[in-house]
Amino acid sequence: MPLPQAPTQQPSKKLNTQANNELAIKGILCILIGLGVVVSPYFITSPGMQGIVAKSAAVGWFALVLGLAFVGLYARRRMAGKSL
């Protein structure tokens, strides 16, 4: 006796759209944080604070790259959704 087929369920379009929008928001926020950390040492006048923020430049670049990856993934999903 064969086993019954597993039910296949497509994720609802509303959940898919909501997940994509959250991905875009996370990407934009990461880009803004990354830009803030990378660019802010040039505008800070206090040498001590400028040094502290400048030492965290690697974190800023990571946030910037992560944000760009999130936005790129959002754009890729959006383009794939339009081609269907």
Query: Quick one: which of 67, 79, 83, 65 has its CA closest to 23?
Result: 67
CA 51, CA 9: separation in Å to the nearest integer? 54
19-63 pLDDT per residue, tens:
889 999 999 999 999 999 999 989 989 999 988 888 999 999 999
8-25 pLDDT per residue, tens:
766 666 668 888 899 999
Q: Compute the average pLDDT of residues 52-78.
A: 93
Task: Give first-to-last CA distance, the chain, whole Å.
Answer: 38
Domain ranges of the chain: 18-83
CA 74, CA 83: separation in Å to the nearest integer? 14
Q: Do residues 37 and 57 touch, judged by C-beta distance below 8 A?
A: yes
pTM as predicted = 0.76
CA 25, CA 74: separation in Å to the nearest integer? 10
